[in-house]
Structure 1
Amino acid sequence: MEAWLEEEREQLPLWVPVALGAGIAAWFSLPNRLGWLAFCSASLALACAALLLPSGGRLRRAVLIGSMMACFGCVLIWGKATFLGAPPLAQAVFVEVSGEVKRLNPVPAQKMSRMLVRPIDAPGLPPLIRVNLDDELTPAGLGRGAVVRFRTRLMPPASPGLPGGYDFARRAYFDGIGATGRVLKPIALLRPASAPPPMRERLFAHIVGQIPGAGGGIAAALATGDQGAIAEDDAEAMRRSGLAHLLSISGLHVTALIAAVVFLLMRAMALSRRAALDWPLMLIAAGGGALAGIGYTLLTGAEVPTVRSCVAALLVLGGLAMGRDAITLRLVAAGALVVLLAWPEALVGPSFQMSFAAVVALVALGEHPRFRGFIAAREEASWRRLGRHLLAMLATGLVVELVLAPIAIFHFHKAGMLGAIANLVAIPLTTFVIMPLEALALLFDLCGWGAPFWWLTARALDLLLLVAHGVASSPWAIMRSSAQSGGIFALILAGLLWCLLWRSRWRWVGLIPAAAGVAMILKSGPPTLLITGDGRHVAVRTASGGMAILRERAGGYVRDALAETAGYDGMLEAMAAMPASRCSPDLCAVRLKGDGRNWDILVTRSSARIESGVLARDCARADIVISDRFLPVSCRPRWLKADRRLLARTGGLAIDLEVPFVRTVRSVDDEHPWIAWSAFRPRRSSQL
């Protein structure tokens, strides 16, 4: 072991942020303070055990530092959640709010704005709420610093409706948002905005006004990171084609800006003989690039992905200024460590995971001797050089797609299959054509001469959207999967990190857990039964492999959530039309197959009163009873009663009748502070 660690001594520091992230992930995964304390105690016990190993060995130091960092990571996120988070609203309320507008984000694609408001003289409300405001209700003079009064129905930030769904409540807690709602008529402007809109909002409005149509939203997103003006069909095409990363301000945008500034400064200073001979050109250019990167980060709102990219870029510039090889895995590890120390909650978000996974994969591939030899400069014909560069781009795209696929499947239940091909065109087009043209258009707008550049930018954006829609229309564009457990995801991630961070032949041992996780995903089938957290919406897997939904009039959001969780890409049928179902206006009985037997499912579908004797008889005949109401004690199914009381404790359910097995949104003893338990407290119904 010591000999192997000596061989890998250069790679050992890379595991410091991994150990810190393991502690943070443990806090998010374990349900309550007993589990958090147990993890910290186990980490400290492991550190104590490491002291029993021979002194001076690398194994002793590695285990000691790793276990201490894991404990520190759990304590770090626990402390931040305790002292800096915003507790959610206890329960939904209708209220008249008077408050100061802290931020106003227009969303032209949905004809509304998202408004962050700090309530005034409202001790019963959270310190910050987010409400949606329709454009037709927006008064003149509304902006940051304005004081408004309006009526709204405030609710706690939404938890996932189904297992594996997006947890907005968790993000809102760390963002300081305690409630959400929609502004109702009328809205009164008590005091107009005291300051002009921030530069980001003015830049966003200017770009959207210069490029009408679909391209304007893309152009505004490339410059500001605000995707509110992108039409939903264009956004979906970008996601399906693997080009969605272009829309968020991340490493590509920050790198392109800093590289352009450094290039221009180097060329401008080289025009002076004295500067070229006597000045430290790289140091000055790196300083200018750093200032440009910091300014761009502040301009775009200093979101976590942008700050993360800026930190990494500053580390690169520092390495270049000192004449060091800056693009290394140690740089990536340093950037990850800085982000986790400042924003530990970012670890569980797809943005952090996908961006760092992609960078680690690219740097690890670039450090491989064979790949480095393949892309090294050499004397050859131009067409061979071009072909070699295209093959290198395709290889890097495939590697990134393979590494990001498990992350995309875990968070979004689908992964792009043709993203490497689409990025062959999209990344050069965006980096070398669209962004320079947009920068020139903004520059010449200062003199009123930017129209020709805006026209060229619009044509280039049309080409980008053509690529996105063309790739997205392919039936092989994405691979869908049902929602996967965190254990499978952790297994794959651990295997990939083992393969990417080590350098000796033992690195390939990581393929075993990674392959095992992939095999579990391929083997796992879609759930037989899906139940949303409120109990109103139920979807079942039909005998033909399709999906049927209880309420035919369910909205598009609910239908999409059910289909994505099941990994299904077709139309949802009506449960009442299934041959194996018998439905009345109040109840629906369905017979499903699983585990070598028939399962009888009973679902309530109305709010009408059901005679207690009839309900008790039907419950006794069913294996599973589902209801959005509080069912009486006399309702006793043979296997599971998923009524309002149970769903208030567990959230939505995904049931696989082949095992059988039940997955829940949360455990019944979950103590994470963003869960508003009082909002889920069941209320007895007088109808039963």
Structure 2
Amino acid sequence: MSLEGDCTSSTPSKWEALNVAARRGWELVLQPFLAERERWPLWLPVLCGIGIAVYFASAVEIGLPALIIAFLAVVSLAFGLRKNTNALIPLMVVGALLAGFGAASIRSQIVAAPLLERPLSMALVSGLVAHVEPLEQDGARVILERLSFENRTLQSVPQRIRLRLPPKSPTIVPGDRIRLYASLMPPTGPVIPGGFDFARQAWFQKLGAIGYGMGQVEILDGTDADVDAGFVDGLAKSIARLRLHITKRIQTELPGDSGAVASALITGGERAISKPLLEAYRDSGLAHLLSVSGLHMSLVAGLVFVGLRALLALIGPLALNYPIKKWTAVGAALATLFYLFLSGAFVPTQRSFLMTGIVLLGVVLDRQAISMRLVAWAALAILLTQPESLTGASFQMSFAAVLALVAVYEIAQAPVSDWRRQKGGWWRGVILYVALLALSSLVASFATAPFSAHHFNRFNPYGLASNMLAVPLSGMLVMPAALASVLLMPLGLERLALIPMGWGVDMINAIAYETASWPGAGLAVPSFSPSGFAALVGGGLWLLLMRKAWRYLGVLGICFGISTAIFARLPDLLVDGGNGLAAIRLEDGRVLMTPGKQEPITRQAWQRYLAIDGEAEVIADGAAGGRVRCDSLGCRLSLKDVALALTYRPEALPEDCASADLLLAPFSLPKGACQRPTVIDRRQGLGKGPHAIWLEQGKILRIETVKEKRGHHPWAPEKRKRTKPDEEYPETKNAPERQDLEMDAESFAKPNR
């Protein structure tokens, strides 16, 4: 009896001890978080961002009713347990995650619009021009809406399409209604498993098809559609026409790349810039100067603020009796609002406008506005209204730079103020300006470099040097002249400001070309792994958002993320069976690619993903030091003791099926035709999209496909459909390649959009 009594009495004490230990452990973990209570709001956009990322990475769509029920349940629990800190904090975290997930889900349903079901050739399309974007060499690209297909019957007509107009088309402005023949296809998906998804971007822009026009463009009568459009649509088209008009005025005074860059800084269109100059800007680390973002918005606000305040200060009664500083802050805010719409209101511009507006509001309210909370609220506003922007390089790089700069500002504010208060000559101001310029360029370069490497597979080692030279030119000559040109344009005197602006632009262009020519500029690097990228971002956020000593734990996450890129194991093969394209990465890092010039966008993306400079070697007989053997029926190669066969014609199947471990074919094999090898043919390519394959000695380690990475979302159809000319229009068989569709995928183009 005594033993039994001892057992029963000791059992509760053990559980009680475990409970006490668990409670103390939780309190130890919770204590540092409680010490950083004032920084908690900064993590709200981070948690919402994680929820958004989970939505886009999820394999399936979760119904909106289930999300609403889950969110309301969490809110109810949090309200009921509001006095229990131990329970409230996890519930707040879950609620923020659900809010982000739900925002992305709701947004994807709000923008839902019909997609083109299959490719079309020689479709006679008429539509209202909603947007015109000038391209290099007098070309143009338009977005059409209110569409009518006159020689096709479609079950669902896309709401908007994007077309590259034929050469020598007439001048077209937003609000025109045009008709032309066009070749169209649905927006295309990733060319690499886990890569940039243009179809997803198009979905959130309500683009149901992309393509190119053919023949003559006819401008229809009665084109002013603003009469039957709503106020918002009419205003948007008026702004678009104004942007196009200003762009043409600029490029008339400044032809060539000077005018293209100048118009990019004022009206936000970069497509007219020549490709060599764009590459030079990217490789030199100056690409951010082409995007209307924080630098440009703050310069415009500062110039208007200083100029307007100086003018008002000349009026004695106003300066002595009224708060002209607050008045000028309001004037600067209105100027930045105009600049926002004039430049196209891209994501970096929206973010910059929000932050600049809050800073100016702080001036009006006599509050200090430059703070982490300002950045957090701006990020939260964009994430909840445009959750798709989270996946874009522009959002990530913009906020990485701003977070890093504000974090440094919080640390350096007191020392800089002390330096300014000290007496000294003019040289102290010069030293301070140069030091702050160097520091800001260094901080922004370090903050954005990982994102540039991840999204564009490029590292710019000379970014600090090029920015030290180009940013002062932009701030002291180019942007003041740009502002003056817009003010003088109604008087027809814009030439007085555009000429000196062109001088500054030409000098910056020369800096870009020079630094891009240095050895190692635009170094090709592999992307981070998903876990490595998450660790790097999380570590950076932890380092910047926390204040106590444990903030430096974030360095561990950054180091782990960088190591995943340094020691990344790239796939040994990339295969797009639907297009008959393959890339083979040899043991020494060289890359072989199937011959031909088809699918240039895929080829370029693969070369960047595999971190190779220059052109890949062609798969041909004798390639790779004689390891590749080819004939008219196909090619063979042994890679890591895996027998690889590229079968070009069905006649080679009996032999290749018997000897190969992995068989790649640009045609669909009959079911059961090959029993021994793993087969990736046209049917697999159309059904699952491009494949990435990893090999290990004598075996296939793993295979990833675009389909499994994309999941089931509205923008991801179950099966790809290839472009085939309609039988009644056989002459379209020689239509342009897919590069003429001007996909302009964000990951292939500018890092600042």
When the two structures are superposed, what TM-score results if normalisation uses the length of structure 1?
0.90
1:580–1:592 contact (8 Å) kept in structure 2: no
Call closer, same or farther: CA 1:214–1:84 in 2, change over 3 Å: closer
In structure 1, the residue matched to 2:48 is 20
SS of residue matched to 1:454? helix
Per the alignment, residue 662 of structure 1 pairs with: 703
Structure showing greater Rg? 2
Mean Cα deviation higher: 18-27 or 29-38: 29-38
Match of 1:128 among 160, 174, 177: 160
User: Which of these residues, 171, 177, 198, is aligned with residue 168 of structure 1?
Assistant: 198
In structure 1, distance between residues paired with 2:527 and 2:445: 19
Counterpart among 285, 290, 307 of residue 242 in structure 1: 285
Name the residue aligned to 2:363. Answer: 320
Deviations, residues 612-643 of structure 1 (Å, cap 9, x unaligned)? xx514412321221223222233436563222
Equivalent position of 1:423 in the other structure: 467
Cα distance, 1:430 vs structure 2? 0.7
Number of the residue aligned with 1:89: 116
1:168–1:669 distance in 2 versus 1, CA, 3 Å: closer
Note if contact 1:47-1:67 (Cα within 8 Å) is conserved in structure 2.
no
Distance 1:637 1:204, change over 3 A: farther
Q: 1:353: Cα distance to partner?
A: 0.8
Amino acid of the structure 2 residue aligned with 1:520: T
Matched, 1:281 2:324: yes
* Native 8 Å contact 2:647 2:653 kept in 1: no
Structure-2 residue corresponding to 1:567 = 611
Gap change, CA 1:203 and 1:87, over 3 Å in 2 = same
CA contact (8 A) 2:645 2:663 kept: yes
Aligned to 2:297: 254
Corresponding residue of 2:37: 9
Question: How many residues get paired?
Answer: 671
CA contact (8 A) 2:185 2:211 kept: yes
CA contact (8 A) 1:157 1:172 kept: yes
Q: CA deviation at 1:383?
A: 4.3
Shift of 1:56: 4.7
Q: Residue 170 of structure 2 aligns with which residue?
A: 139
C-alpha change, 1:264 and 1:339, in structure 2 (3 Å) is: same
Residue matched to 2:102: 75
User: Judging changes above 3 Å, is the alpha-carbon distance between structure 1 residues 233 and 317 closer, same or farther for their aligned structure 2 residues?
Assistant: same
Question: Which of 547, 560, 566 lines up with 1:503 in the alignment?
Answer: 547
Checking the alignment, whether the CA contact within 8 Å between 1:366 and 1:372 is kept in structure 2 is no
1:526 aligns with 2:556: no
Work out which of the residue numbers 331, 335, 354 in structure 1 matches 2:397: 354
CA distance in 1, matches of 2:57, 2:38: 31
The 1:143–1:637 alpha-carbon spacing in structure 2 relative to 1, beyond 3 Å, is farther
Preserved CA contact (<8 Å) 1:604 1:626: yes
Deviates more, 1:291-300 or 1:393-402: 393-402
Correspondence for 1:398: 442
Deviation at 1:35, TM superposition (A): 11
Question: CA contact under 8 A between 2:44 and 2:96: conserved in structure 1?
Answer: yes
Could you tell me which amino acid in structure 1 is paired with residue 348 of structure 2? P
Q: Contact 1:623–1:640 (CA<8 Å) still a contact in 2?
A: yes
2:681 paired residue number: 643
Residues 284/675 of structure 1: CA separation in 2 closer, same or farther (3 Å cut): same
User: 1:327 Cα shift?
Assistant: 0.5
Choose 569-578 or 496-505, whichever is displaced more.
Answer: 569-578
- Tell me how large the CA RMSD over aligned residues is: 2.9
Q: Is the 8 A contact 1:616 1:634 kept in 2?
A: no
Cα contact 2:481–2:498 (8 A) shared by 1: yes
Which residue pairs with 1:591 in the alignment? 638
Residue 381 (structure 1) shift: 5.0
What do residues 656-681 of structure 1 show as CA deviations (whole Å, max 9, x unaligned)? 32483333333178211111334349
Describe how 1:314-393 pairs up with structure 2 within 5 A.
Answer: 314-369=357-412, 372-373=415-416, 376-377=419-420, 378-383=422-427, 385-393=429-437
Q: 1:292 aligned to 324, 331, 335, which one? A: 335
The offset of 1:448, in angstroms, is 4.5
State the alpha-carbon separation in 2 of the partners of residues 581 and 391 from structure 1: 56
The percent of aligned pairs where both chains have the same amino acid is 31
For residues 590 and 40 of structure 1, do their structure 2 counterparts lie closer, same or farther at Cα, with a shift above 3 Å needed? farther
Of stretches 304-313 and 628-637 in structure 1, the one that deviates more from structure 2 is 628-637
Corresponding letter in the other structure for 1:436: P
Structure 2 CA distance for aligned equivalents of residues 259 and 293 of structure 1: 10
Question: Could you tell which deviates more after superposition, 668-677 or 30-39?
Answer: 30-39
In 2, Cα distance between equivalents of 1:200 and 1:171? 23
2:662 matched to which residue of 1?
624
Check conservation: 2:71, 2:99, Cα contact below 8 A.
Answer: no
Aligned partner of 1:213: which letter? Answer: G
Query: After alignment, is 117-126 or 455-464 more displaced?
Result: 117-126
* C-alpha distance in 1 between matches for 2:109 and 2:173: 32
Match of 1:473 in 2: 517
1:477-492 equivalences in 2 (<5 Å): 477-492=521-536
Q: Evaluate the alpha carbon distance shift between residue 36 and residue 644 of structure 1 in structure 2; reply closer, same or farther with a 3 A threshold.
A: farther
TM-aligned CA deviation for residue 510 of structure 1: 1.4
- Give the 5 Å matches for 1:391-470: 391-470=435-514
Residue identity opposite 2:209 in structure 1: A
Whether 1:677 and 2:707 are equivalent positions in the alignment is no
Which deviates the most, 482-491 or 312-321?
A: 482-491
Report what 1:686 is aligned to. Answer: none
Can you list the C-alpha shifts for 1:475-516, whole angstroms capped at 9, x where unaligned? 222332234432221121111111110000111111222211
3-state DSSP class of the match of 1:105?
A: strand
Deviations 1:240-261 (A, max 9, x none): 1111111111111111111111
The runs of at least 4 consecutive aligned structure 1 residues that moved more than 6 Å come to: 35-54
- Once the two structures are TM-superposed, the CA of residue 46 in structure 1 deviates from its matched residue by 8.1
**Does the Cα contact within 8 Å between 1:86 and 1:175 map onto a contact in 2?**
no
Aligned to 1:667, the other structure's residue is in SS state helix
Distance 1:254-1:616 versus aligned 2 partners, 3 A rule? same
**Cα distance, 1:60 vs. partner?**
4.1
Counterpart secondary structure, 1:319: helix
- Are 2:266 and 2:342, in contact at CA under 8 Å, matched by a contact in 1? no
